[in-house]
């Protein structure tokens, strides 16, 4: 892409945060960006709010201020905040066995698995034995027995492996059991977090709303993969090609369809709190900014926010991820810096990445919340170069 072909960058940047705009522009010039947005909030104040490009692969529809996009596993962070709100209310305890709230979960030797172990990907429940399809996920009463009956793939608490799709299903059922109104996770998030903050993010797309402003995803293939990608997950790709292994099982069941076809009703309308949220960079930055800046806008008390931001936390499991085949660190439903994947000013930072490159995180050391969303699906397992460029530029500003 030549400089003449660069799209117009829209939005606002506070004085001192110009390097983020520069990095955003370079992503279009050098890293194959099609459409994207980046936002940074200092507490409840936006200091970066930018968008540019197109919301379709053919580059015919402009990415606008209110464009939203599937962010896949970046949804996990907002689901983790929703669980944290239940902990703040005393409805849930991270150290309590899941079976305390959901007795049927104890089947297949899972009685001792704690809420913390479950949300930190240590439960061995990264996949399901029976094939589960989207219409079954919509039937929560029918889905719960399937989830409860699942046998762990490894001894819980001894290892960890990314629960790419299943994590949100288990989180949702736990919350449904402790919420006094029996609300779903998506509804709790909508009513207790999204509405009070005014964030444009949905876990379960409303059936009465159209899809017109939702960007469509673009897979990265062929020459574009050679040109723009350096961190190609060859081992995961080999498992998917061979149709065997923990990565294949975790990423293909429940059957959700191709990520490139994510902008469709049957995928977005069900609640997959680990993998199908739809929103924008501004929404991610708003929620994480509220957490990092302790604005009081989240229904989460400071004691729990301290737990989320804990710099050092006990973990007895090896760093190697059995599903992703890289070093990962998880903490209370979020990612922490580890191995070659670093983010934030220090070890207190926490957030989650999404398939293709989206990312949201809180940086308690600076009080900043960061959000990035795009529609070209990058191939990196964790550290997409576009996100890295933006967050490193943000930290240089402070």
pLDDT value for 350: 97
pLDDT value for 316: 60
pTM, rounded to two decimals: 0.96
Q: Where in the chain is the domain with CATH 3.40.710.10?
A: 3-72+201-396
pLDDT value for 314: 56
Percent of the chain with pLDDT over 70: 98
- Average pLDDT score, the chain: 95
Q: What is the CATH number of domain 3-72+201-396?
A: 3.40.710.10
Phi-psi region of 171 (alpha: psi -120 to 50; beta: other; left: phi over 0): alpha
CA 232-342-154 angle, to 5 degrees, is: 65
pLDDT in tens, 155-194: 999 999 999 999 999 999 999 999 999 999 999 999 999 9
315, pLDDT greater than 70: no
pLDDT in tens, 234-282: 889 899 999 999 999 999 999 999 999 999 999 999 999 999 999 999 9
């Amino acid at each position: 892409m030549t400089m003449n072909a660069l799209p117009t960058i829209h939005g606002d940047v506070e004085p001192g945060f110009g390097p983020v705009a520069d990095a955003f522009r370079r992503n279009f010039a050098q890293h194959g960006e099609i459409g994207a947005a980046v936002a940074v909030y200092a507490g409840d104040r936006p200091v970066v709010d930018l968008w540019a490009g197109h919301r379709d692969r053919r580059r015919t529809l402009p990415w606008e201020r209110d464009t939203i996009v599937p962010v896949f596993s970046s949804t996990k962070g907002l689901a983790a905040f929703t669980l944290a709100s239940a902990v703040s209310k005393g409805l849930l305890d991270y150290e309590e066995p899941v079976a305390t709230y959901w007795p049927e979960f104890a089947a297949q030797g899972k009685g001792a698995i704690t809420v913390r172990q479950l949300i930190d990907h240590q439960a061995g429940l990264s996949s399901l034995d029976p094939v589960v399809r989207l219409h079954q996920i919509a039937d929560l009463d029918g889905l719960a027995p399937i989830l409860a009956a699942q046998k762990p793939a490894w001894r819980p608490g001894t290892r960890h492996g990314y629960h790419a799709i299943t994590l949100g299903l288990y989180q949702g059922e736990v919350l449904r059991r402790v919420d006094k109104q029996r609300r779903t996770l998506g509804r709790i998030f909508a009513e207790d977090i999204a509405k009070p903050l005014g964030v444009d993010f949905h876990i379960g797309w409303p059936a009465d709303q159209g899809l017109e402003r939702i960007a469509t995803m673009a897979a990265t293939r062929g020459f574009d993969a050679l040109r723009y990608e350096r961190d190609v997950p060859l081992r995961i790709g080999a498992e998917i090609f061979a149709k065997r292994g923990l990565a294949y099982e975790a990423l293909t069941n429940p059957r959700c369809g191709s990520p490139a076809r994510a902008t469709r009703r049957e995928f977005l309308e069900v609640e997959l709190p680990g993998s199908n949220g739809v929103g924008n960079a501004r929404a991610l930055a708003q929620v994480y900014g509220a957490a990092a800046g302790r604005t009081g806008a989240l229904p989460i008390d400071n004691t729990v926010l301290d737990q989320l931001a804990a710099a050092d936390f006990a973990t007895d499991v090896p760093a190697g991820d059995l599903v992703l085949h890289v070093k990962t660190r998880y903490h209370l439903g979020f990612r922490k810096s580890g191995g070659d994947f670093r983010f934030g000013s220090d070890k207190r930072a926490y957030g989650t990445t999404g398939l293709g490159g989206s990312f949201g995180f809180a940086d308690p050391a600076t009080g900043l919340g960061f959000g990035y969303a795009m529609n070209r699906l990058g191939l990196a397992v964790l550290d997409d170069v576009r996100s890295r460029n933006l967050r490193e530029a943000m930290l240089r500003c402070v």
